[in-house]
Copies of this chain bind each other. A is one copy, B any other.
């Protein structure tokens, strides 16, 4: 999926990025002793009363009911579909936080960064999330391969950065979770995706670094997962996760937002 140098770079980055995020938390807390150091290690982005929003494309959408009624009903399965966002939401809802959480899914199948931008006020800003998780990028490259879109990796970077800057301007306290775009090498994903796809992943990583966001390394995760089951076990067409891929994503997402190492 990537050469070993970029793997190493990514892992180094992850360590640095998470450390930077944690340092940010410690600064806010205004403490620097060992006890605070212990505490910050276990800081969770999810707090009682949090509003959490999942945003993205078909991987996040996962067949959710997009009727006005379902969209107006947070926390319930029909509005979540059957993917990682629902599995992560169910784990949060059933866990310690219970009914104090308000969780939405607004992923829409086929969407790219410019599509998010067009519906961002209604589908993000107006929902006033405390925690915003974004997984976007696979269509920004896939639709280009299919001749349906002429954006490049530079378009992706410029658009993604503006989206995040606009979000921070409107919601200064929002906690960002940026998910790494990923593919499995099977189904629709063949050699032509590489190394160009690595450029999109690097942009997502850069966005997380710039925004001091929590970064969820889905590609690194799946690169490791194929040691235990073949690519099609995790995503039949290489892009859309099976329930096993989705469960693994939900687990990684939860660990990342809860800073569980």
Q: A75's closest neighbor in chain B, by CB?
A: B228
Q: A224's closest neighbor in chain B, by CB?
A: B94
A145: CB under 8 A from chain B? no
Q: Are the C-beta atoms of A247 and B87 separated by less than 8 Å?
A: yes
Complex Cα distance, B41 from A35, in Å, reads 14
Q: Which of A62-96 contact B (CB under 8 A)?
A: 75-77, 82, 86-87, 90-91, 93-96
Q: Are the C-beta atoms of B76 and A248 separated by less than 8 Å?
A: no
Name A260's contact: one of B247, B250, B260 (CB within 8 Å): B260
Given contacts A246-B247, A247-B250, A258-B260, contact A233 B91 (CB under 8 A): no
Complex Cα distance, B261 from A136, in Å, reads 30
Interface membership of chain A positions 26-42, coded 1 if the CB is closer than 8 angstroms to chain B and 0 otherwise: 00000000110010011
Complex Cα distance, B249 from A91, in Å, reads 9
Q: Which size class do A's interface residues fall under?
A: 35 or more
Complex Cα distance, B247 from A252, in Å, reads 12
Chain B contacts for A227, CB-based, 8 A: 93, 99
Name A228's contact: one of B42, B94, B258 (CB within 8 Å): B94
A225: CB under 8 A from chain B? yes
Chain B contacts for A244, CB-based, 8 A: 82, 86-87, 90, 243
Interface membership of chain A positions 92-133, coded 1 if the CB is closer than 8 angstroms to chain B and 0 otherwise: 011110110000000000000000000000000000000000
